[in-house]
């Protein structure tokens, strides 16, 4: 990679987890300035586990996932840091090496299955292509495999539907086909970028059920990207909360939901729709607008929107809070003292949820 | 494919295709009838409306030297005094069954398909058209092959290396190609390559392909390249625009996420969408040129249909002009039919029916 040397962290200790992302930075030089879409992100994920990445629009979730798959154009993106997949480092690897892993070892499910499938080829052709690019098999064998997969993801009459074009499928079926395609080579890492956002609610639930079942069956590592905390609560073992290209809070799903420690996470929890409340009162969107990624606010990126900024003289506007271990095994980047965070959560936040 | 028969409630694909083709064919025939009426109207009715009499008309056919009595006589014998529908019917019948022209001293046969009879040459038009057709066909097929290959490949490369030196140079030349008239580029290339360097034939000769293929190509290479230059420029710009659009589609990202090599992503997934609109334009361009690449044929003195039409216009030989016009109309209607059918094959979203 052409990344400046000072941005690249020394290799350090060998990775322990199946997927280990270390200090990942993805910057885009543009006419307006350098867009720091991802700025120092680190996390780990093991096979059989699900990591939910949540955050508002523009927080860098998709850029991160495309970065892991090596899908950024090297001409307009600067990627640095390390991505260890099963002991192999990907940021410094050759494009050809990463290409061979793509679709085979790591696969992706995109948000909008209508635009993500090529309208000019049948669903079957596209699944067959995904399989044959990594396996030396005959077309009929690949076709049988495709029909199998379509069956597995719950497409009725798969032997016939395999010859349909994407526009002949309903939205939910297209997403099932997309999932079938991503599963065609039994990937060990599966990244789903808002897999249900484009679908209506009943279909959403079906797709999530399907993904849960398939993950158990394949024992893959799953990264589930969403801005819907409800989805995360259903599926994720761990949660990573992103804000302005950084991680602000990270930990086991249970702890993050039941003892959130970061003011931004509190805001997200407050804006989570709940069925037992009236539509108007249940949504408490976070005040303010997302931060600029070109000239982010100094100090804590969240400070312009944070109700607790500078409380009791903490240096929110000047010092960047580090992501540090908090109690119950999660990590938080906030200047508020832990005791105070716990107090605010129990006294002010939890009752409103 | 292995699909076990038609789905209940939906007609099977072959049935749809047959009805679609049938409908298109009927449409094409109707279109030809309409076009023939319009052509007939232009050549027979408009001069009358503009104040001409059937004698004026007849005068054009027999030549200006004839006396007025003779002209009136001719008008009567050729049926110019009959009601218009009768004249149109006779003209149409001539195409199907042939016609006879009573010229006084002799009665001339015009065998089917009678596309008119030139009184100046005392010969039916159709055999002359047939004579000229191979020239135009050779010119157009050769040029079309060159411009399609050159235009599309340059367009693809330009799009992939957008902003590069190659892109700028190619688009600069293309702009020139679009804006320079063919008689200019034609004469320029004649001066340079033919009279100057002596590499190519100076035109005005045509050798049938079957007689001597090498000579055929040698005589045509300069007109081919000149005509192709103009169109290649247009096609390069169209392809570039189309490729830039399709390469930013979500399904391209999906194709990359599958692990396809970039070459395959471009050639299979990118080009397909970009070529679809080009199919339409190509069909129409070729069919229009088939009616006579007037400027190219005049510049290089090629005895094709375009040259024939120009010569007929200068000698005021209306039946010939009308014959070429009808033939052009036929080519255009036919090309439309082909384009429609090809479109149904190329773009699966086009609903047949
Ligand atoms: N190629 C690029 N050039 C410049 N900026 C980019 C590029 N790609 C993404 N960005 C910017 O990076 C930021 C993060 O985008 P990203 O798509 O990751 O957000 P997201 O978290 O996935 O949001 P959403 O929930 O809307 O999908 C955005 O502000 C976007 O404008
Ligand atoms: S560091 Fe300060 S501004 Fe940032 S989240 Fe904590 S309290 Fe709010
Ligand atoms: Mg996104």
Residues B281-311: pLDDT tens digits?
999 899 888 877 888 888 888 889 999 999 8
Q: CATH number of the domain that B342 lies in?
A: 1.10.3720.10
pTM, whole model, 2 decimals? 0.82
Kindly state whether residue A13 falls inside one of the protein's structural domains: no
Kindly state whether residue A178 falls inside one of the protein's structural domains: yes
Inspect the interface and report whether the beta carbons of A116 and B251 lie closer than 8 Å.
yes
pLDDT of residue B148: 95
Q: What is the mean pLDDT of residues B10-20?
A: 69
Distance (Å, whole) CA B289 – CA B141: 10
Q: Is the pLDDT of residue A212 over 70?
A: yes
Least CA distance to A109: which residue of chain B?
A: B254
Torsion angle of alpha carbons B278, B283, B286, B287, nearest 10°?
-150
CA angle B98, B101, B105 (to 5 degrees): 145
- Answer whether B308's CB lies under 8 Å from B316's CB: no
CB of A112 within 6 A of ligand 1: the answer is: no
CB of A37 within 6 A of ligand 1: the answer is: yes
- Partnered with residue A87 across adjacent β-strands are none
Distance (Å, whole) CA A78 – CA B274: 29
Q: Is the pLDDT of residue A241 over 90?
A: yes
| Residues A173, A193 within the same domain | no
Instruction: Look at the block and give the residue holding tokens 């599926």.
Output: A235
Distance (Å, whole) CA B314 – CA A52: 79
Kindly state whether residue B3 falls inside one of the protein's structural domains: no
| Residues A161, A264 within the same domain | no
Kindly state whether residue A14 falls inside one of the protein's structural domains: no
Distance from the CA of A62 to the center of ligand 3, in angstroms? 4
> Which of the two residues, A188 and B69, has the higher pLDDT score?
A188
CB of A30 within 6 A of ligand 1: the answer is: yes
**Strand runs labelled E in chain B:** 99-102, 107-110, 117-118, 123-124
| Residues A181, A299 within the same domain | no
How many domains does the structure of chain A reveal?
Answer: 2
Provide the CB-side half-sphere exposure for A212 (13 A, CA): 13
Residues A134-184: pLDDT tens digits?
999 999 999 999 999 999 898 999 999 999 999 999 988 999 999 999 999
Kindly state whether residue A309 falls inside one of the protein's structural domains: yes
Kindly state whether residue A314 falls inside one of the protein's structural domains: yes
Q: What are phi and psi of A30, to 5 degrees?
A: -130, 175
**ipTM (interface predicted TM):** 0.89
Q: CATH number of the domain that A343 lies in?
A: 3.40.50.300
Q: Is the pLDDT of residue B233 over 80?
A: yes
pLDDT of residue B207: 83
Position A279 confidence tier, pLDDT thresholds 50, 70, 90: very low
Range(s) of the domain holding residue B150? 125-346
Q: Is the pLDDT of residue A302 over 50?
A: yes
Range(s) of the domain holding residue A60? 20-105+187-352
Mutation choice for ligand 1 from A39, A61, A76, A248, CB with most ligand atoms inside 8 A:
A61
Chain B residues with CB-CB distance to A71 below 8 A: 253, 256-257
| Residues A348, A271 within the same domain | yes
Question: CA B337, B340, B345, B350 torsion: positive or negative?
Answer: negative
State how far the alpha carbon of B178 is from the alpha carbons of A125, A312, B146, B158, B277, in Å: 39, 71, 16, 17, 19
CB of A35 within 6 A of ligand 1: the answer is: yes
Starting at the edge strand found earlier in the chain, the sheet holding A331-332 runs: A106-109, A189-193, A221-226, A50-54, A238-243, A246-252, A331-332, A324-325
Q: Is the pLDDT of residue A278 over 60?
A: no
Q: Last residue of some domain: A186, A209, A242?
A: A186
pLDDT of residue B199: 77
Mean confidence (pLDDT) of chain B: 83
Which of B244, B259, B274, B351 is most worth mutating to test chain A (most A CB atoms within 10 A of its CB)?
A: B259
pLDDT of residue A11: 54
Q: Last residue of some domain: A186, A201, A228?
A: A186
Cα B244 off chain centre by: 29
> Closest Cα to residue B302, out of B193, B223, B214?
B223
The residues, any chain, with a CB within 8 Å of residue A189's CB and separated by 6 or more, are: A18, A19, A45, A68, A85, A105, A106, A107, A220, A221, A222, A223
How many domains does the structure of chain B reveal?
Answer: 1
């Amino acid at each position: 990679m052409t990344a400046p040397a000072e941005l690249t962290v020394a290799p350090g200790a060998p990775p322990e987890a199946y997927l280990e992302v270390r200090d990942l930075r993805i910057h885009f030089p543009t006419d307006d300035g350098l867009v720091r879409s991802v700025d120092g992100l680190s996390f780990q994920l093991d096979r059989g586990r699900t990591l939910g990445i949540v955050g508002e629009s523009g927080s860098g979730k998709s850029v991160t996932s495309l970065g892991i798959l090596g899908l950024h154009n090297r001409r307009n993106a600067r990627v640095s840091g390390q991505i260890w997949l099963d002991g192999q480092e990907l940021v410094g690897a050759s494009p050809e090496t990463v290409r061979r892993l793509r679709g085979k070892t790591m696969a992706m499910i995109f948000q909008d299955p209508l635009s993500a499938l090529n309208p000019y080829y049948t669903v079957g052709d596209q699944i067959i292509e995904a399989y044959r690019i990594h396996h030396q098999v005959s077309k009929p064998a690949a076709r049988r495999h495709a029909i199998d997969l379509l069956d597995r993801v719950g497409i009725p009459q798969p032997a016939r539907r395999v010859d349909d074009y994407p526009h002949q499928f309903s939205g939910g079926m297209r997403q099932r086909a997309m999932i079938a395609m991503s599963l065609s080579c039994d990937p060990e890492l599966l990244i789903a970028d808002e897999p249900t956002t484009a679908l209506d609610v009943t279909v959403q639930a079906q797709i999530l059920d399907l993904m849960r079942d398939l993950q158990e069956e394949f024992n893959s590592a799953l990264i589930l990207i969403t801005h819907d905390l409800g989805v995360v609560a259903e599926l994720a073992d761990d949660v990573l909360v992103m804000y302005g290209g950084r991680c602000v809070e990270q930990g086991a799903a249970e702890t993050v939901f039941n003892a959130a420690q970061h003011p931004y996470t509190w805001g997200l929890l407050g804006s989570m729709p709940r069925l037992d409340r009236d539509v108007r009162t249940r949504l408490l969107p976070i005040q303010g607008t997302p931060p600029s990624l070109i000239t982010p606010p100094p100090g804590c990126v969240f400070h312009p929107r944070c109700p607790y900024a500078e409380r009791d003289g903490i240096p929110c506007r000047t010092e960047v809070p580090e992501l540090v271990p908090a109690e119950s095994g999660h990590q938080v980047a906030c200047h508020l003292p832990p005791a105070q965070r716990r107090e605010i959560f129990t006294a002010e936040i939890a009752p409103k949820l | 494919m292995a699909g076990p028969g038609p789905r209940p409630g939906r007609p099977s694909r072959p049935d749809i295709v047959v009805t679609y083709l049938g409908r298109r064919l009927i449409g094409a025939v109707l279109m030809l009838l309409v076009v023939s009426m319009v052509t007939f109207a232009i050549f027979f009715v408009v001069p009358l409306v503009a104040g001409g009499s059937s004698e004026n008309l007849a005068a054009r056919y027999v030549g200006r030297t004839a006396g007025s009595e003779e002209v009136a006589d001719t008008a009567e014998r050729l049926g110019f005094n009959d009601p218009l529908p009768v004249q149109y019917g006779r003209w149409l019948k001539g195409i199907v069954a042939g016609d006879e022209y009573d010229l006084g001293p002799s009665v001339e046969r015009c065998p089917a398909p009678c596309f008119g009879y030139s009184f100046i040459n005392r010969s039916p038009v159709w055999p002359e058209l047939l004579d000229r057709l191979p020239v135009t066909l050779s010119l157009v097929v050769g040029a079309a092959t060159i411009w399609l290959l050159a235009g599309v490949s340059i367009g693809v490369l330009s799009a992939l290396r957008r902003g590069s030196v190659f892109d700028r140079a190619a688009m600069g030349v293309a702009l020139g190609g679009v804006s320079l008239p063919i008689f200019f580029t034609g004469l320029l290339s004649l001066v340079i390559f033919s009279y100057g360097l002596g590499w190519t034939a100076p035109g005005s000769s045509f050798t049938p392909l079957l007689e001597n293929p090498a000579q055929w190509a040698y005589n045509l290479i300069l007109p081919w390249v000149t005509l192709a230059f103009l169109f290649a420029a247009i096609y390069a710009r169209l392809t570039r625009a189309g490729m830039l659009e399709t390469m930013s589609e979500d399904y391209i990202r999906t194709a990359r996420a599958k692990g396809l090599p970039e070459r395959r992503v471009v050639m299979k997934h990118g080009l397909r969408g970009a070529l679809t609109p080009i199919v339409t334009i190509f069909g129409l361009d070729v069919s229009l040129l088939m009616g006579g690449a007037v400027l190219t044929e005049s510049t290089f003195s090629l005895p094709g249909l375009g040259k024939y039409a120009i010569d007929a216009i200068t000698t005021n030989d209306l039946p010939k002009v009308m014959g070429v016009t009808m033939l052009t109309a036929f080519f255009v209607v036919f090309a439309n039919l082909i384009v429609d059918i090809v479109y149904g094959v190329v773009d699966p979203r086009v609903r047949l029916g």
